[in-house]
Structure 1
Amino acid sequence: MHQVFDRNLLLARRLRALKQHGHSADFLLARAAADLEERLSAVERKFEIAVDLASHTDLAAQALQRSGKAATIVRVEQDARFFTGAFPAVVADEEALPLKPAGADLIVSLLSLHLTNDTPGTLLQIRRALRPDGLFLGAMAGENTLAELRECLLVAESEIFGGAAPRVAPFADVRDAGGLLQRAGFTLPVTDIESYTVRYDSAFALMRDLRAMGMQNALTGRSRRPLTRHFFARVAEVYADRFSDPDGRIRATFSFIWMSGWAAHESQQKPLKPGSAKASLADFLKDVESLEKK
Structure 2
Amino acid sequence: MKLPASTAPSLFDRSALTLRRARAQDEALFLHRAAVDEVQDRLSMVNRTFTAPAIVTPFHQIWQSVLPDANIIPDDETLALTPGTHDLVIHAMALHWANDPVGQLIQCNRALRPDGLMLVVCLGGETLHQLRAALGQAEIAVTGGLSPRIAPMAELRDLGSLLQRAGLALPVADVAALTAEYRDLYHLMRDLRAMGETNVLSDRLRRPTKRQIFDQAQKAYSEHFATPEDRLPATFELICLTGWSPDESQPKPLRPGSAQMRLAEALNTDEGNLPD
- After superposition, the Cα gap between the structure-2 partners of 1:221 and 1:284, relative to the gap in structure 1 and judged at 3 Å, is farther
C-alpha distance in 2 between matches for 1:26 and 1:157: 29
Instruction: Report the alpha carbon displacement of residue 124 of structure 1 after superposing the two structures with TM.
Output: 0.6
Contact 2:83 2:112 survives alignment (8 Å): yes
Could you tell me which residue of structure 2 aligns to residue 82 of structure 1? none
Could you tell me which residue of structure 1 aligns to residue 214 of structure 2? 232
Could you tell me which residue of structure 1 aligns to residue 40 of structure 2? 37
C-alpha distance in 2 between matches for 1:180 and 1:23: 31
C-alpha distance in 2 between matches for 1:63 and 1:36: 10
User: Normalising to structure 1: TM-score of the pair?
Assistant: 0.85
C-alpha distance in 2 between matches for 1:146 and 1:62: 30
Counterpart of 1:254 (choices 212, 236, 244) is 236
Instruction: Report the alpha carbon displacement of residue 48 of structure 1 after superposing the two structures with TM.
Output: 1.5
Output the aligned Cα RMSD.
Answer: 1.8
- Deviation per CA, 1:38-91, whole angstroms, max 9, x where unpaired? 1111111111211110242322343334xxxxxx2111026xxxxxxxxxxxxx
C-alpha distance in 2 between matches for 1:188 and 1:248: 44
Contact 2:264 2:270 survives alignment (8 Å): no
- After superposition, the Cα gap between the structure-2 partners of 1:202 and 1:103, relative to the gap in structure 1 and judged at 3 Å, is same
Contact 1:160 1:231 survives alignment (8 Å): yes
Counterpart of 1:167 (choices 144, 149, 159) is 149
Could you tell me which residue of structure 1 aligns to residue 19 of structure 2? 12
Equivalent residue letter for 1:28:
L
SS of alignment partner, residue 75 of structure 1: strand
* Regions of 4+ moved over 4 Å: 281-286
C-alpha distance in 2 between matches for 1:64 and 1:276: 43
Identity %: 42
Equivalent residue letter for 1:59:
I
Contact 1:36 1:63 survives alignment (8 Å): no
C-alpha distance in 2 between matches for 1:64 and 1:177: 25
C-alpha distance in 2 between matches for 1:180 and 1:109: 14
C-alpha distance in 2 between matches for 1:97 and 1:35: 23
C-alpha distance in 2 between matches for 1:159 and 1:166: 16
Could you tell me which residue of structure 1 aligns to residue 3 of structure 2? none
Could you tell me which residue of structure 2 aligns to residue 3 of structure 1? 10
Instruction: Report the alpha carbon displacement of residue 282 of structure 1 after superposing the two structures with TM.
Output: 7.0
Kindly indicate whether residue 147 of structure 2 is the aligned counterpart of residue 144 of structure 1.
Answer: no
Equivalent residue letter for 1:76:
I
SS of alignment partner, residue 106 of structure 2: helix
Instruction: Report the alpha carbon displacement of residue 253 of structure 1 after superposing the two structures with TM.
Output: 0.4
SS of alignment partner, residue 26 of structure 2: coil
Counterpart of 1:74 (choices 71, 74, 88) is 71
SS of alignment partner, residue 32 of structure 2: helix
Kindly indicate whether residue 187 of structure 2 is the aligned counterpart of residue 190 of structure 1.
Answer: no
Contact 1:37 1:64 survives alignment (8 Å): no
SS of alignment partner, residue 148 of structure 2: coil
Equivalent residue letter for 1:173:
E
Equivalent residue letter for 2:138:
A
Instruction: Report the alpha carbon displacement of residue 289 of structure 1 after superposing the two structures with TM.
Output: 5.0
Contact 2:134 2:217 survives alignment (8 Å): yes
Equivalent residue letter for 1:140:
C
Could you tell me which residue of structure 2 aligns to residue 113 of structure 1? 95
C-alpha distance in 1 between matches for 2:142 and 2:120: 40
Count of aligned residue pairs for this structure pair: 265
SS of alignment partner, residue 37 of structure 1: helix
